Amino acid sequence: MSTDSARALKSLGFLTIGSFDEADPFAGHESTLEIIELGERLGFDSAWLRDRHLQHGISSPIAVLAAASQRTTRIELGTAVIPLGLENPFRLAEDLSTVDVLSKGRLNPGVSVGVPTHFDEIKDHLYPDTWQTEDFTTTRVERLLHNLRGDEVSTFSGTQGVETFSTRIQPHSPGLAERVWYGAASMGSATWAGEHGLNLLSSSVVRAEQDDDFARIQRAQIEAFRAVHPLGQAARASQGLVVIPTDSATPQQAAKYHAYAESRMARTSAPQGPGRMLFAPDIVGTSEQIADVLRAHAGFQAVDEVVFALPFSFEHDDYVQILTDMAQTLGPELGWEQAV
């Protein structure tokens, strides 16, 4: 099954890692919240946070999005992605449901599975008694979905003393399970997401299994996802590339952006490591130039939603300029209309 040759862009989002200085973590977290507020004012449809552990980036996106939910009213709030190997699906479901209630149904949880990064170095603190038997497969996603749907997690219900107990996760937020996204880099993962009715997050990294062309691989994964999804061609798939418009950038900013992309270019020339991970080049230029590149990109042609990733190491003013150009120039160039 193939997708249309091109889809009109209907949803524009952005993704940030939320970097901070270890000596002053408040400033970085506040900057992230201000960026999300700016995204809403600019009309973006969604704002997404990465999930980083033992790094100087947001380690608790759900907590930050809880704060963002009280400083915004319309923009959708997502995670891209929460690695479930570090989470208890029972407790995570409670946190996700709570933030979805606080945001009035705006949460889009993105998740992934697999053995946690540097697991041998952290396993004695993460799972001191069970690390040898922990299941890091897609079973963890199924457990989370079970919980978010409001299915039974306890055999006890009723009143005990002055307390009343439920058999399902509380609070229950109807519809949240249908807004779960799966971060997939391989054909198998994309197909699994489709078979289980999830939404698909396709980022700037794919696994080069039978091809070395990033755009073709991404397109093939999206097509495979929709071919088995209950919603078919209506199934939601989002593309997330690093895109840096320079329309209103100062000469100094533009030079920095081009230097950043150039420093990362080598990793895009061929699959990396035993997993054959293939990275997409960062796209830097005017909105007109970026739009031309995207319109010719097989992966972009297959989606009507994007979550453009912000670079890791830029300054707050750089993000303001980049987001402003995305919303005011690049988005309209791609046929997107601002939310009102």
Dihedral-angle region of residue 271 (phi above 0 means left; psi in -120 to 50 means alpha; beta otherwise): beta
- Whether residue 272 is contained in a domain is answered as yes
In-domain check, residue 70? yes
CATH number, residue 184: 3.20.20.30
Q: Indicate whether 161 pLDDT > 80.
A: yes
Amino acid (1-letter code) at residue 294:
L
φ/ψ of 48, rounded to 5, equals -125, 145
pLDDT for the residue numbered 240: 96
What would the pLDDT profile of 63-81 be if each residue is shown by its tens digit?
Answer: 999 999 999 999 999 999 9
Task: Say whether pLDDT at 2 is over 50.
Answer: no
Task: Determine, yes or no, domain membership for 201.
Answer: yes
Evaluate whether residue 1 is within a structural domain.
no
pLDDT at residue 207, rounded to an integer: 96
Q: Domain for residue 338, yes or no? A: no
Q: For position 1, what pLDDT does the model report?
A: 35
Contact between 244 and 282 under an 8 Å Cβ cutoff? The reply is yes
Q: Give phi and psi for 181, each to the nearest 5.
A: -110, 150
Residue 326: count of CB within 10 angstroms of its CB: 28
With a CB cutoff of 8 Å and minimum separation 6, the contacts of 260 are 244, 282, 284, 311, 313, 314
Q: Give the mean pLDDT of the chain.
A: 96
CA gap 243, 237 in Å, rounded: 18
Q: What is the mean pLDDT of residues 52-57?
A: 96
Range of the domain at 271: 11-333
How far apart, in whole angstroms, are the C-alpha atoms of residue 11 and residue 239? 11
CB atoms within 10 A of CB 300: 22
Q: Let me know the angle formed at the C-alpha of 244 by 34 and 212, rounded to the nearest 5 degrees.
A: 125
Q: What is the pLDDT of residue 339?
A: 67
Phi, psi of 195 (to 5 degrees): -60, -30
Please check whether residue 314 is in contact with residue 232, taking contact to mean a CB–CB distance below 8 angstroms.
no
**4 within domain boundaries:** no
Distance CA 285, CA 333 (A): 13
Q: Which of 170, 139, 140 is nearest to 154 (CA)?
A: 170
In a domain, 85, yes or no: yes
Q: What is the structure's pLDDT at 7?
A: 75
Average the pLDDT over 205-223 and give the result. 96
pLDDT at 338: 85
Res 234 pLDDT > 90? yes
Count of domains observed in the chain: 1
In a domain, 259, yes or no: yes
pLDDT value for 8:
83
For 266-281, the pLDDT digits (tens) are 999 999 999 999 999 9
Q: Is the confidence at residue 310, as pLDDT, over 80? A: yes
Once rounded to an integer, what is the mean pLDDT over residues 234-242?
A: 97
- In this prediction, what percent of the chain has a pLDDT beyond 70? 98
Residue-level pLDDT at 143: 98
Give the bridge partners for 279, in sequence order. Answer: 205
Residue 10 near residue 303, CB atoms below 8 Å:
no
Q: What is the pLDDT of residues 133-155, one digit of tens each?
A: 999 999 999 999 999 999 999 99
Q: Span 125-136, mean pLDDT?
A: 98
**Is pLDDT of 4 > 50?**
no
pLDDT of residue 340: 65
Q: Does 103 have pLDDT greater than 50?
A: yes
Task: With a cut of 70, say whether residue 300 has pLDDT above it.
Answer: yes
